[in-house]
Amino acid sequence: MKVLVTGAAGFIGYHVALRLLSVGDCVTGVDNLNSYYDPRLKRARLEQLDRHSGFEFQLVDLAGRTASEALFAGRKFDAIVHLAAQAGVRHSLDNPHAFTESNITGFLNVLEGARRGRAGHLIYASSSSVYGSGNSRKIPFSIDDRCDWPISLYAATKRANELMAHCYTHLYEIPTTGLRFFTVYGPWGRPDMAPYRFARAIDLGRQIDIYNYGRMFRDFTYAGDVAESVARLVERSPQGYRLFNIGGGSPVALMDFVHALEGALGKRARKRFLPMQKGDVPLTHADVEDLYAFTGFRPSTPLVAGIERFIAWYRDWARQDVTRPISLSCHAAY
């Protein structure tokens, strides 16, 4: 199959592209290599993908209409896996324009590429953040449930993506599949996310900030399981407008996650407990029965095993990264 993976130099994009390449698919990867976090990590991921003969990379900012049209001109893909986005719940409070440009305008340009017949199926990243506070919801979160009002601009842009995709499926009969990712972690993870920031702080003997006084639960999902979920959806015949949760299905207490990091690193964390931050939620829990019914797969990597793999990669990467200045206040999304 010929697959376009946008955000291929990103965390999830890298794992998805690698999984598709491993079974012989031809992957065109797209990324703008922005500086939201150190582009050296993005380039290192691309170096891994470049080892595969079926991989081609295009440096493209999808928020640019002309550049996006040029990407799709004369090309046809069996599927588009659109993972390029500006991420970060709390970052959206400080830099809202980056989110509308990347997540709204960029997604519209990809939808237009699909509308012009350049793909048989559009799979795109949504987020568990669209479920809002969860205060009035049943647990676990089910696709059949209505979403609460988003409580961050990031979540609002992802919910908007789902609505935009619904319109294009209805108007132009484009098969679209949205994926609500739940707290993805693993090797090659983003430095702004809690697993990496916590690991580095613990490793260096620095303090970590733990919000809501530690009373947080997250449905952590291993990156390899995410890639397998996406690959199986690529392989299946598209069916109109679909949404799936991509999550482990078993929420983990944040303090248990910290303990797993401590165990893998062999060091104790210095902890500072703080109140809940704006835009955050105390619990996420994915109902993944729809995903299992459709693909025969559900994420199942045990947390301890996933953390050990992450720390093995972290130690290797950190040896190359020790001179880079860092901020160790661990305020990234859990």
Active centre residues (catalytic): 154
| Secondary element (H or E) of residue 210 | strand 207-210
Token pair 């994926």 is at which residue? Answer: 179
User: String of b and e for 241-259 (b: at least 16 CB within 10 Å)?
Assistant: bbbbbbbbbbbbebeebbe
d(CA 257, CA 195): 9
User: String of b and e for 184-217 (b: at least 16 CB within 10 Å)?
Assistant: bbbbbbbbbbbbbbbbbbbbeeeebbbbbeeebb
CA 224 from chain center: how many Å? 12
Sequence-ordered alpha helix ranges (H) in 173-327: 194-204, 223-235, 254-265, 289-295, 303-321
Q: Which of 252, 242, 254 is nearest to 213 (CA)?
A: 254
Identity of the amino acid at 126: S
